[in-house]
Amino acid sequence: MPEIKVTPLGAGQDVGRSCILVSIAGKNVMLDCGMHMGYNDDRRFPDFSYITQNGRLTDFLDCVIISFVSNGEKKVLLFCGVLSLPYFSEMVGYDGPIYMTHPTKAICPILLEDYRKITVDKKGETNFFTSQMIKDCMKKVVAVHLHQTVQVDEELEIKAYYAGHVLGAAMFQIKVGCESVVYTGDYNMTPDRHLGAAWIDKCRPDLLITESTYATTIRDSKRCRERDFLKKVHETVERGGKVLIPVFALGRAQELCILLETFWERMNLKAPIYFSTGLTEKANHYYKLFITWTNQKIRKTFVQRNMFEFKHIKAFDRAFADNPGPMVVFATPGMLHAGQSLQIFRKWAGNEKNMVIMPGYCVQGTVGHKILSGQRKLEMEGRQILEVKMQVEYMSFSAHADAKGIMQLIRQAEPRNVLLVHGEAKKMEFLKQKIEQEFHVNCYMPANGETTTIFTNPSIPVDISLGLLKRETAIGLLPDAKKPKLMHGTLIMKDNSFRLVSPEQALKELGLAEHQLRFTCRVHIQDPRKEHETVLRVYNHLKGVLKDYSVQHLPDGSITVESILIQATAHSEDQGTKVLLVSWTYQDEELGSYLTSLLKKGLPQSSS
């Protein structure tokens, strides 16, 4: 039986380090190549030894697919599906094709170089990729368009679908023959102020591999969240406080900037808003270049007004953090793990007038996670204790799908099986049960290094001749589109394609003479009467039961029901037993089986 094997090399019952190995119909595909931020040694990379113990990776893998480059930046590229790519291709060794969308290909080398500078130049780490390795890695990248079917080889094809989430994010369908897998990467089913909602057609894959970061979360109304966010920012600024909003470089940053820009304009507010230097310029460049990836409203108004050129939001200089008076600062990275956002947090944490708003997911171990868990005394570098007096708020503006969004995608794609990755084990278990109960499909959640085998029953497409369709509809009522319809015909396989035609057409095409095949079944009946009397009893019985069928008693003593022939003979050893020979053609298989079972029950005593 055909099977699909899935092994998470990262993101199995874990958040971060996305890397999934899929084997389908003899093809091996690696999905994403992320990194774990909780480690500073080789454990941060996916365990590529699971791919193959012997030989080169290029000989084993048919291709690598990158679903997105994160809204992460610099020190916390947690959800990024690409961070380990130069390490994988240039240091471990892979020379095959790497597929990603055009925006991802444009953004990828810039963010990889940013991350390399932090890790190597500032932290001084070794065993890491170089600038040249990033360039060499990008030469292997093949950019794809949305909804473009790309033929990787003669059998393997892939297709990208819009995923929302961040600029360039895509879901991928991987197809070999009749078997298919859809991999979501990170996606968002809710449209926002600058990106549209994820969309996929009803492709009914054998397996859907979906992220489950927010497996148990159902977010409240987006409008209520935005109103609450604006109210808290406004109140803090009005009382002279400062607001810190730790964000990632692309995605949520633009979303919240558009929100605050519009509010400041409407309310005529004067307090300054700042954004980490350089990032707005980068973002503007990407969004101008790939305007077709934004939502309809931005595309319509882009010629008259670029939504990403902000009047009230200026570039931030680290000296501004000590300025007196109110201000709002968007700073990276988004989890207060390091960098500018952490530096500003340390300066402002001691003043109860100030506020920090965490707009997205925070991984365990980060300062963001600690303060959201209620910690108010933090041990910083050099064992210094930082007392947090500022207000701490969490408002989920994450671009990941929530539980409702995950269920919506399953409803849309109608997969035969579901596999959860990129989530916490307990939350995944809850969602797994919910999926199995609601959709009646198997749901899996393998850990890192654990292989899940899914047996598939591939559906084989068959073309039906127009003549056969016309004949079938002429016989009975028009078929119900939602119910399966049994059709009789001759299956012809030619040039790796299947056609169902009428037997007459098949004989004509193949130049064959017709042979009639009949099935015969023996039914024993206890009846001491003579043979012709038994036949008469059988005839009367069938005439009474089968009122909608043509039942005839022929001169030679046999009975016909449509094309079915019934003859009676005496048993060679027992004269009180009669043997009924029931024969039919394959076209009347159903009726023949019914008649046989009916006669096996015997004849009614009252029949004469």
Q: What is the pLDDT of residues 175-193, one digit of tens each?
A: 998 899 999 988 999 888 8
pLDDT of residue 602: 86
CATH 3.60.15.10 range(s) for the chain read 3-218+399-455
What the block records as the tokens of 243 is 């607001």
pLDDT of residue 285: 77
pLDDT at 339 over 60: yes
Angstrom CA distances, 302 to 255, 258, 324, 365, 555, stand at 16, 14, 36, 41, 89
Angstrom CA distances, 494 to 460, 497, 503, stand at 14, 5, 16
CATH 3.40.50.10890 range(s) for the chain read 222-394
The structure's pTM equals 0.74
pLDDT of residue 481: 64
pLDDT at 79 over 60: no
For residues 353 and 366, give the distance between their C-alpha atoms in angstroms, rounded to a whole number: 23
241-268 average pLDDT score: 89
Mean pLDDT is lowest, of 247-251, 317-321, 574-578, for 247-251
pLDDT of residue 518: 86
- Split at pLDDT 50, 70, 90, the class of 159 is very high
The better pLDDT of the pair 411, 56 is held by 411
Tokens 């977010």 correspond to 219
Mean pLDDT, all residues of the chain: 88
pLDDT at 473 over 80: no
Tokens 């996929």 correspond to 200
- Split at pLDDT 50, 70, 90, the class of 607 is very low
pLDDT at 547 over 80: yes
Query: Dihedral sign, CA of 185, 186, 188, 192?
Result: negative
| Nearest Cα residue to 546 out of 587, 476, 599 | 599
pLDDT of residue 26: 95
Mean pLDDT is lowest, of 147-151, 276-280, 434-438, 480-484, for 276-280
Count of positions (residues) in the chain: 608
The better pLDDT of the pair 530, 607 is held by 530
pLDDT of residue 419: 98
Tokens 């902000």 correspond to 310
What kind of architecture, by CATH, is found in domain 222-394? 3-Layer(aba) Sandwich (3.40)
The better pLDDT of the pair 45, 277 is held by 45
| Nearest Cα residue to 14 out of 450, 554, 577, 569 | 450
Query: Of all residues in the chain, what percent carry a pLDDT higher than 90?
Result: 53
For residues 463 and 132, give the distance between their C-alpha atoms in angstroms, rounded to a whole number: 52
pLDDT at 20 over 90: yes
CATH 3.30.310 range(s) for the chain read 518-601
- Split at pLDDT 50, 70, 90, the class of 476 is low
For residues 176 and 205, give the distance between their C-alpha atoms in angstroms, rounded to a whole number: 11
Of the ranges 178-187, 547-556, 594-603, which is most confident?
178-187
pLDDT of residue 80: 54
Own/partner contacts of 574-580, CB < 8 Å, gap of 24 or more, are 575/528, 576/526, 576/527, 576/528, 577/524, 577/525, 577/526, 577/527, 578/524, 578/525, 578/527, 578/531, 578/534, 579/522, 579/523, 579/524, 579/525, 580/522, 580/523, 580/524, 580/525, 580/538
172-176 average pLDDT score: 97
Sorted by sequence, the CB contacts under 8 Å of residue 183 that are 6+ apart come out as 20, 22, 31, 65, 67, 171, 172, 174, 209
The better pLDDT of the pair 209, 299 is held by 209
- Split at pLDDT 50, 70, 90, the class of 279 is low
Give catalytic residue positions: 211
pLDDT at 398 over 80: no
CATH number of 518-601: 3.30.310
- Split at pLDDT 50, 70, 90, the class of 72 is very low
- In this structure, which topology does domain 3-218+399-455 adopt according to CATH? Metallo-beta-lactamase; Chain A (3.60.15)
CA atoms within 13 A on the CB side of 86: 22
192-201 average pLDDT score: 91
pLDDT of residue 381: 81
pLDDT of residue 335: 85
Q: How many CB atoms lie within 10 A of CB 521?
A: 16
pLDDT of residue 242: 98
- Split at pLDDT 50, 70, 90, the class of 366 is confident
pLDDT of residue 608: 45
- Split at pLDDT 50, 70, 90, the class of 71 is very low
Query: Of all residues in the chain, what percent carry a pLDDT higher than 70?
Result: 94
441-460 average pLDDT score: 93
pLDDT of residue 74: 32
For residues 247 and 363, give the distance between their C-alpha atoms in angstroms, rounded to a whole number: 14
